[in-house]
């Protein structure tokens, strides 16, 4: 087993990994930027190294700085968390070249899954259904128009190098296509340095359902059930729950079986999430396979009792999975809310500044993953996640009541800081959401209703 | 929907106002004297820089008691050098994680010794990171008064390396950090 793991991340996920390491008797090496130098953050690691200035690309996303720190500290392995270097195949390759284990998939898989054209082709060949649209990148507007006319509007234009909800444009009619196509290409070039785009049918009443998988290096592959992440604003998740509600068990069975089968077919390694869009007739379409631990992983941990970060570390160390599919039984319902330092009234704009009061909830079956405290400065350099509130209950009704209770208890305030808490409470009290009849259109509907 | 920045976006002035407000509030929220404020609208930057506070050595767990000194955010330009509180001394600090070397190779004399007069373009040390040797220059004219890091030992980002008492007549480029300098690959014999 590894004796030292360097955690190439910050915020709540860095803490989450440090906690797993400590429980496993592994020394954790934290890295930090100048903006994160507060000792109240750094105390969670066994050793810390200052790797760069505040901007992420010069610290947490800087391969040279992270690898150099790992070598200095004598780390056996690097856990990349999510974001930053977690899906960078070049980083994984550099780690391997200096004899450090990257806790995640193999670099060639990361490269394949990061390119949406390759990923979609490979997963289609592995038996997953894609939304009607173009598999190859669109060469021209003429081709985009022909494809859209064939599948029908609305369509969504996506960046080949994109993912995680970035670089997408919804097109509602043929008249909007030329402009949207040009803007999507330009956005893709700007965000990812790659202007290739493809398009597919846009489901206006779709649900976002994903399957958590774990695959070891001995051919073992299991799934840990589903999560529903339909509560999104601009393709960014706000609330997640598991198992996905209001799905026919036959659909769930087909979806989870297809996910593990596809993962096995491509020789996937580590923890991954297979994301699907589910239409009103419960047909499910593959969107992407995220080859990393996800923000919403605690939902699955709560309903399965499996520590996913611990499993990631064991898998990276070459151990076979200690669990078979029969060992995974889902119990109850878990819900996660992302408490972000954002102002829902101003299109969820980040609100950096000093957090003066920070008193998170407690109580039964309530888990808070956070790196914040009173006196924490919410920096404009990084994402605005302040805390994840995760609750468990025997059924959905109780879980939602428990979440509302937890959010009511949460006292977080700062002069410039706004949070998503009031908006999350509106979602939880929404009748359509309560009945699990919502789709990815829910957040927009609530916001339009209010204004 | 994808939103691209546009030149005459009416939202830009709103954004600029918001950035201004954030900068103003950040500046008043944290104790300590301000050194630099930067607000920008294209690509949304807010930077507020405080006077440097001596950094506790980053070591093992429990470095400081909870509720210790306030954080020191958004330090981007202060890297590479900083003024000592009194006497106008300059601390040359490491622009990256790496290994500090005082000489171009093991058999050679050090780049500088205590008492040497240096000028701003003079290389005073190299930092090796990922097999690249990055020259560290003095960035001011003055006299080397102390070598703060140990030869051939690892250094962190921002770690003090060399203390220089600048010549009062030398020009001091306060906002120019060296961290952005491209590393130079050499056939140096270290490592």
The tens digit of pLDDT for each residue in A118-161 reads 999 999 999 999 999 998 899 999 999 999 999 999 999 999 98
Q: Alpha helices of A138-275 — where are they, by DSSP H?
A: 141-151, 177-192, 249-265
- For Cα atoms A127, A132, A133, give the angle at the middle one, nearest 5 degrees: 110
The two structure tokens encoding residue B137: 């220059």
- CB atoms B179 and A65 under 8 Å: no
Count of H helices and E strands in chain B? 1, 11
Cβ contact A358:A412 at 8 Å: yes
Cis peptide preceding B138, ω within 30 of 0: no
| pLDDT given at position A451 | 52
- CB atoms A353 and B72 under 8 Å: no
A378 touches chain B (CB under 8 A): no
Rounded to the nearest 5 percent, the helix, strand and coil shares of chain B are: 10, 30, 60
| pLDDT given at position B73 | 39
Q: How far apart are CA B148 and CA A295, in angstroms?
A: 42
Residue for token digits 């106002």? B17
Q: Residue range A271-283: average pLDDT?
A: 97
Residue for token digits 């659909």? A251
A380 to chain B: which residues are within 8 Å by CB?
22, 44-46, 74
Judge whether A292 counts as a catalytic residue: yes
Q: How far apart are CA A133 and CA A152, in angstroms?
A: 10
Q: How far apart are CA B82 and CA B100, in angstroms?
A: 18
Cβ contact A295:A238 at 8 Å: no
B169–chain A nearest CA distance, Å: 30
Number of Cβ within 10 Å of residue B43's Cβ equals 6
Q: How far apart are CA B27 and CA B36, in angstroms?
A: 10
What residues contact residue B176 under an 8 Å CB cut-off, 6+ apart? B77, B80, B139
Tens of pLDDT, residue by residue, chain B (191 residues): 333 333 344 444 555 566 666 666 665 555 555 555 555 555 455 555 555 444 433 333 333 333 333 444 334 334 555 544 445 789 999 999 999 999 999 889 999 999 999 999 999 999 999 889 999 999 899 999 999 999 999 999 999 999 999 987 654 443 333 443 444 333 334 43
Measure Cα distances from B18 to A336, B21, B24, B50 in Å: 30, 5, 10, 21
Give the ipTM: 0.84
Query: Which DSSP helix (H) or strand (E) runs through B126?
Result: strand B123-129
Which chain A residue has the Cα nearest residue B4? A187
| pLDDT given at position B168 | 73
A186–chain B nearest CA distance, Å: 8
- CB atoms B22 and A352 under 8 Å: yes
Enumerate residues 23 to 52 of chain B having a beta carbon within 8 A of any beta carbon in chain A: 25-26, 29-30, 44-46
Strands A357-359 and A349-350 come out as: unpaired
Each residue of A282-318: pLDDT tens digit? 999 999 999 999 999 999 999 999 999 999 999 999 9
CA dihedral (A424, A246, A201, A89) in degrees, to 10, reads 70
**Length, in residues, of chain B:** 191
Q: What's this model's pTM, rounded to 2 decimal places?
A: 0.83
pLDDT band at residue A168 under the 50/70/90 scheme? confident
- CB atoms A54 and B76 under 8 Å: yes
Enumerate residues 275 to 334 of chain A having a beta carbon within 8 A of any beta carbon in chain B: none
| pLDDT given at position B6 | 38
Say which DSSP state A218 is in. Answer: T
Task: Tell me which residue of A242, A360, A343, A358 sits closest to A301, measured CA to CA.
Answer: A242
Each residue of A337-380: pLDDT tens digit? 999 999 999 999 999 999 999 999 999 999 999 999 999 999 99
CA dihedral (A170, A235, A10, A99) in degrees, to 10, reads -70
């Amino acid at each position: 087993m590894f004796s030292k793991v360097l955690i190439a991340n910050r915020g709540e996920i860095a803490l989450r990994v440090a906690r797993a390491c400590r429980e496993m008797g592994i020394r954790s090496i934290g890295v930090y930027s100048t903006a994160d130098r507060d000792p109240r953050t750094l105390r969670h690691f066994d050793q810390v190294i200052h790797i760069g200035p505040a901007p992420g690309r010069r610290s947490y996303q800087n391969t040279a700085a992270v690898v150099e720190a790992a070598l200095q500290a004598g780390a056996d392995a690097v856990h990349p968390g999510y974001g930053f270097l977690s899906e960078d195949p070049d980083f994984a390759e550099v780690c391997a070249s200096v004899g450090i284990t990257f806790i995640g998939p193999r670099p060639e898989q990361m490269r394949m899954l990061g390119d949406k054209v390759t990923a979609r082709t490979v997963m289609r060949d592995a038996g997953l259904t894609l939304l009607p649209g173009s598999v190859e990148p669109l060469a021209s507007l003429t081709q985009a128009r022909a494809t859209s006319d064939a599948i029908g509007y609305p369509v969504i234009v996506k960046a080949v190098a994109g993912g995680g909800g970035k670089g997408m444009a919804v097109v509602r009619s043929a008249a909007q296509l030329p402009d949207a196509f040009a803007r999507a290409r330009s956005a893709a070039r700007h965000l990812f340095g790659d202007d290739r785009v493809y398009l597919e049918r846009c489901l206006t009443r779709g649900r976002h359902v994903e399957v958590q998988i774990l695959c070891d290096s001995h051919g073992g592959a299991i799934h840990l059930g589903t999560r529903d992440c339909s509560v999104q604003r601009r393709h960014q998740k706000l609330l997640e729950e598991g198992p996905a509600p209001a799905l026919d068990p036959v659909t769930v069975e087909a979806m989870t079986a297809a996910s593990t089968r596809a993962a096995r077919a491509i020789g996937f390694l580590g923890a991954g999430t297979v994301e699907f869009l589910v239409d009103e007739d419960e047909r499910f379409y593959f969107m992407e396979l995220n080859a990393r631990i996800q923000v919403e992983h605690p939902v699955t941990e709560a309903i399965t009792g499996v520590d996913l970060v611990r499993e990631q570390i064991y898998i990276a160390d070459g151990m076979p999975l200690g669990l078979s599919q029969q060992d995974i039984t889902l119990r109850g319902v878990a819900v996660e809310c992302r408490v972000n330092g954002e102002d829902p009234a101003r299109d969820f704009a980040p609100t950096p500044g000093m957090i003066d009061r920070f008193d998170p909830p407690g109580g039964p079956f309530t888990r808070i993953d956070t790196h914040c405290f009173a006196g924490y400065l919410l920096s404009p350099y990084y994402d605005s996640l302040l805390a994840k509130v995760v609750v468990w209950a025997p059924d959905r009704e109780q879980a939602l009541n428990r979440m509302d209770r937890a959010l009511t208890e949460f006292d977080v305030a700062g002069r410039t800081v706004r949070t998503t808490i009031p908006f999350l409470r509106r979602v939880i009290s929404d009748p359509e959401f309560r009945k699990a009849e919502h789709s990815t259109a829910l957040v927009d509907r609530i916001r339009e209703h209010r204004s | 929907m994808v939103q691209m920045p546009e030149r005459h976006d009416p939202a830009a002035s709103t954004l600029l106002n918001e950035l201004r407000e954030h900068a103003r509030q950040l500046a008043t929220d944290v104790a300590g004297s301000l050194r630099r404020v930067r607000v920008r609208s294209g690509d949304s930057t807010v930077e507020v820089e405080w006077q440097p506070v001596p950094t506790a050595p980053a070591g093992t767990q429990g470095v400081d008691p909870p509720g210790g000194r306030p954080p020191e955010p958004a330090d981007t330009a202060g890297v590479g050098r900083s003024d000592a509180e009194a006497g106008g001394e300059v601390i040359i600090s490491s622009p990256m994680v790496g290994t500090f070397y005082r000489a171009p190779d093991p058999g050679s004399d050090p780049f500088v010794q205590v008492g040497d007069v240096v000028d701003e373009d003079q290389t005073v040390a190299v930092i090796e990171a990922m097999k690249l040797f990055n020259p560290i220059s003095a960035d001011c004219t003055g006299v080397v008064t102390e070598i703060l890091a140990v030869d051939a030992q690892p250094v962190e980002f921002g770690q003090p390396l060399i203390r220089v008492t600048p010549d009062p007549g030398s020009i001091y480029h306060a906002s120019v950090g060296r961290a952005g300098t491209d590393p130079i690959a050499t056939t140096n014999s270290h490592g």
